[in-house]
Amino acid sequence: MKQSVTFNVSGIKCGGCETTINKALQALAGVVSVQASSQDKTVGVQFDTDLTSTEAIRAAIVTAGYAVQDRG
């Protein structure tokens, strides 16, 4: 089943950061699309829940060097 999620991510400062996050997430099985925005400090991801999870996506963002902020 496809799902969309948006993460608030700190540390995204430029197009290079967006590219780094896009590449990291597109390497995950099940990720359909990624939209990282340095302006909004968000990462939107559409993915297949049968192949990956929000936890795996969050971990990939952190591994790429960025901090995922909890929504509050």
Predicted local confidence at residue 70, as pLDDT: 76
* Domain extent listing, the chain: 2-69
**Interval 16-34: pLDDT, tens:** 999 999 999 999 999 999 9
Predicted local confidence at residue 71, as pLDDT: 61
DSSP 8-68: EEET--SHHHHHHHHHHHHTSTTEEEEEEETTTTEEEEEEETTT--HHHHHHHHHHTT-EE
Round to whole Å and give the CA distance between 57 and 52. Answer: 8
- Angle between helix axes 15-26 and 54-63 (nearest 10 degrees) is 130
Fold of 2-69: Alpha-Beta Plaits (3.30.70)
**Which segments in the chain show pLDDT lower than 70?**
71-72
